[in-house]
Structure 1
Amino acid sequence: MQALFDITALGIGPATAIMFGLMVVLLLSGMPLAFVTLLVALVFALGFYGPMSVTIITSRIYTFVNSFIFVSVPMFVLMAAMLDRSGVARDLFDALKLIGGRIRGGVAVQTIFVSVILAAMSGIIGGEIVLLGLIALPQMLRQGYDRSLAIGVVCAGGSLGAMIPPSIVLIMYGLTANVSIGDLFTAAFVPGLVLASLYVTYVLVSSYFRPGMAPPPVHEHIPTSEKLRLLKGLFLPLLVVTFVLGSIYAGIASVTEASAVGVAGVALSALIRGEFNWQFLKGSAMQTLATCGMIVWIGIGATALVGVYNLMGGIHFVGGLITGISDKPIVIVLVMMAILFVLGAFLDWVGIALLTMPIFVPIIKQLGLDPVWFGVLFCMNMQMSFLSPPFGPAAFYLKSVAPSDISLGDIFRSLLPFIALQAIALALMLFFPGMAVY
């Protein structure tokens, strides 16, 4: 194979700089990440190996899309799309007011509890933030909650789907790093609950010790019949969570099979509620198609780029740079976390996972560290990226449904305390790995 233009003489260092620079320029031009990575991969494949190297790209892409576990991604996305269109989230929120109405800051705490349950049902983030922005945010603002606290709770709580199984982020990491997704789900469960507990603690401390952050609780008498009606809203969501996660943890079903069980459970819930019809199914399917199309295209581009870069010797080059920073594994892991945090402020998490994990995971294994533990660290880091300016997607999701007087600047300022809480949770995971690999 003869290259169309010789860039091999540059060496891997300058070639890496040119590759990165070209990606930045194309991204700044507004081109989607999926097409940027695919175009750069094609340019460097032709430059290094000539026209016959296109087969390298196609074989890498086929391997990526041919993974059986990848089937679970559209299933979990479909589950989330159905939840978006059903009244399950609203009933769940109403049911938990039996607890939230008894404490100061109760509606905010209630919102976080709802976030945990919704995250355990689908593992999708955008729809959850929009749902909470429509249900919880207006109620908190109407009751006199501090606006920053209300905004932060909705965005941070709605982003818990990145950590709490069945997280799509965990699934994509497992696919990229060739790690058991069942092990990842088990490892991420406790850290996800720890993060949610930090949110709840922050809300309660702010509500009780900072005047004006939350109104006093309203003690209203709720008849027993109304309590029973509200509690019915907990039954179907908890049943779906039990079947999905219970079947995985008990070893009854694989992640892919459990995702199908989850879709069936949400569809049955919608059917029982009288919401399942042709428009419901069509809208859910179209939303799933759009989301999965984005994930697949980013995956195709990133997989092709990593494949070409690996053939160029780039992965060994970057690995050598990172491992040469220090002989202490914790320092190397901290550098990786810093790189992921910076990338998370500008790139989609799917692209970050597919571009960086083929480089980072072999280094983690070489250092004798647990790739499952590192996967939880990665997801915690990506959780931060959902809130981090300037392109934190959580802020844009909420802005689409928030009152017009709430600007993006207001939202990002409100998220700063919750980003700090995520950093604390990440530090706990770094220095107490037993939280994940218990």
Structure 2
Amino acid sequence: MLDLQALGIGGGSVAMFAMLLALLVTGMPLAFVTILVALTFAFGWFGPMAVPIVTTRIYSFIMQYVFVSVPMFVLMASILDRSGIARDLFDAMRLFAGRIRGGLGVQTLIVAVILAAMSGIIGGEIVLLGLLALPQMLRLGYDKHLAIGIVCAGGALGTMIPPSIVLIIYGLSANVSISELFTASFLPGLMLAALYAAYVVITGLIQPHKAPVPAQDEVVPLKEKLRLLKGLILPLIVVVFVLGSIYGGIASVTEASAIGVVGVILSTLVRGEFSLKMLMDASMQTLRTCGMIVWIGVGATALIGVYNLMGGINFIKELLLGVSDTPIVVILVMMLILGVLGMFLDWVGIALLTIPIFAPIVKTLGYDPIWFGVLFALNMQVSFLSPPFGPAAFYLKSVAPPDIGLGTIFRSLLPFIGLQILALALVLIFPELALWYR
């Protein structure tokens, strides 16, 4: 049998990383890569006796009660994708866009915030906005790059705005309160949306041709305004019930997710859109999405479990703490690591692979893991837009006009990536932005 212990923890860490990288390059899914590497090192380092310990760790991760909220929020998003709620919400927001320069862009961002507060899912929101808002902005003469950036950046706000799946996975990995994470991320999430909106308005003022004022025939009559206003009612009721029940201490995150699913289903019933086929399609999409999350969770949990048994977490801790005597420098190095990983890996894998290692170090440095959770979510915001594998660009490309290529999309996202980094820097410098509720 191969004796990997002879490598020592330093050599073992390098060998594990090299094996991970080599298998990922082959195109093998991350979930299966992590499981294979975990089993290889469990057998090679400890022998067969280590396998039951790994499986126990996996079981304890999957059996956490709050994990039930993940499929619930995914199901909410899947039903929203198939209903006309998002379309009517977008149309209703025309009442508030008015005839201001950049109004349609700001309207799109407000809709993005409301949709994020209803589901916490990224991909579906970008696709919805790509189908609803992008053609509208292009038709009204918006600059192509500005319109693309608004849709992708706004659609990615689900990372920050509760109930964010990213924050739920972080909370499970770092073993911190998810309700507290939701509260902490709310203000930074709105701040980021406000930065986007300010950028759109300022761009419109400096370069009027990029964000034109709607023509006179775009004015909405009073009767139409009253009809459109109805489109705001159901989404806002769902948001109030889901977030209000969490912040009011009425329900846990898991219970609130169930309330959200019931609310969205009732909304489709009221609108006359509900059907068994829609529910089945939404359920199948939920199974596919959650299956991916669970498998990545199994693989990452197994890998981190084996690495912890090897002494790897203490090794990484000493390595990072040895970078500098200044704690904030260590945090910046962690942000850099997350940023680089975000360019190549899915956020689920990043969270499950890094947070069990980073969270104890953050506590050792004397920082609040809730604050670090907000930083992590902001970092994942950047990863959603960053080339070469920014998921937001690929989601939008799937519904964008044929003349809009991936290169155009990525170029359009650069100013918004800058705004995300600015928001990240502000929360780093002023932790009170995340810990405002204390």
Question: TM-score normalized by structure 2?
Answer: 0.98
Q: Distance in 1 between matches of 2:119 and 2:186?
A: 14
3-state DSSP of counterpart to 1:10: helix
Shift of 1:217: 3.0
Tell whether the 8 Å contact from 2:112 to 2:155 is kept in structure 1 after alignment.
Answer: yes
Q: Does 1:51 align with 2:37?
A: no
CA shift, 1:142, in A, is 1.1
Structure 1, unmatched stretches of 5+, are: none
Match of 2:228 in 1: 230
8 A contact 2:126–2:155 mirrored in 1? yes
Residue 251 (structure 1) aligns with: 249
Match of 1:64 in 2: 61
Cα deviation for residue 57 of structure 1 reads 1.9
Which residue of the partner structure matches residue 262 of structure 1? 260
**Structure 1 residues 402 and 221, CA, compared in 2 at 3 Å: closer, same or farther?**
closer
The counterpart of 1:203, out of the listed 159, 175, 200, is 200
1:372-412 deviation digits (Å, cap 9, x = unpaired): 00000000000110000000000000000001111101100
Separation of aligned partners in 2, 1:217 and 1:275: 32
- 1:117 pairs, out of 106, 114, 128, with 114
**Distance of 1:218 and 1:73 partners within structure 2:** 43
Write out aligned runs for 1:99-138 (5 A).
Answer: 99-138=96-135
Matches of 2:180 and 2:326 in 1, distance apart? Answer: 26
Q: Which residues of 2 match residues 222-371 of structure 1 at below 5 A?
A: 222-371=220-369
Amino acid corresponding to residue 177 of structure 2 in structure 1: S
Residue 30 (structure 2) pairs with residue 33 (structure 1): yes
Structure 2 CA distance for aligned equivalents of residues 31 and 379 of structure 1: 26
Aligned pair 1:11/2:3, yes or no? no
Q: 1-side partners of 2:273 and 2:402: how far apart?
A: 30
Match of 1:375 among 373, 376, 379: 373
Q: Which amino acid aligns with 2:393?
A: A
Q: 1:215-252 CA distances to partner (integer Å, 9 max, x unpaired)? A: 22334443322111101000000000000000000000
1:426 paired with 2:424, answer yes
User: 1:105, 1:217 within 8 Å by CA — same for their partners in 2?
Assistant: no
Task: Check whether the contact 1:101–1:218 (CA below 8 A) recurs between aligned residues.
Answer: no
Superposed CA offset, 1:329-387 (max 9, x none): 11111000000000000001011001101111001101111000000000000011000
Q: Aligned match of 2:188 in 188, 191, 208?
A: 191
Q: Which amino acid aligns with 1:189?
A: F
What are the Cα deviations for residues 151-200 of structure 1, in whole angstroms up to 9, with x where unaligned? Answer: 00000000000000000000000000000001000000000000000000
Please, which moves more after superposition, 204-213 or 151-160? 204-213
Can you list the C-alpha shifts for 1:88-129, whole angstroms capped at 9, x where unaligned? 000000001112132111111110000000000000000000
Residue type at the aligned position of 1:246: G
Does the Cα contact within 8 Å between 1:88 and 1:237 map onto a contact in 2? yes
SS of equivalent residue, structure 1 residue 251: coil
Displacement of 1:310 in angstroms is: 0.2
Number of residue-to-residue matches in the alignment: 435
Do residues 143 (structure 1) and 140 (structure 2) align?
A: yes
Whether 2:214 is the aligned partner of 1:213: answer no
CA distance in 2, matches of 1:350, 1:57: 20
Partner residue in 1 for 2:159: 162
Shift of 1:138: 0.7
Report the identity percentage.
Answer: 70
Give 1:327 deviation, angstroms: 1.2
Q: Deviations over 1:292-343 (max 9, x none)?
A: 0000000000000000000000000011010111111111110000000000
- Which range is displaced more, 188-197 or 220-229? 220-229
Say if 2:149 and 2:413, in contact at 8 Å, map to a contact too.
yes
Residue type of the alignment partner of 2:122: I
The answer to whether the 8 A contact 2:101-2:208 is kept is: no
Matched, 1:414 2:415: no
Secondary structure of the corresponding residue to residue 93 of structure 2: helix
The answer for unaligned runs of 5 or more in structure 2 is none
User: TM-score w.r.t. structure 1 length?
Assistant: 0.98
Partner Cα distance (1:139, 1:292) in 2: 33
| d(CA) in 2 for partners of 1:58, 1:182 | 28
Report deviation, 1:212. 2.0
Alpha carbons 2:159, 2:377 under 8 Å: kept: yes
Cα RMSD over matched residues?
Answer: 0.8
1:73 maps to 70
Please say if 1:42 is aligned against 2:39.
yes
Q: Distance in 2 between matches of 1:194 and 1:210?
A: 24
Q: Do residues 98 (structure 1) and 104 (structure 2) align?
A: no
Do 2:246 and 2:253's aligned partners in 1 also have CA atoms closer than 8 Å? Answer: yes
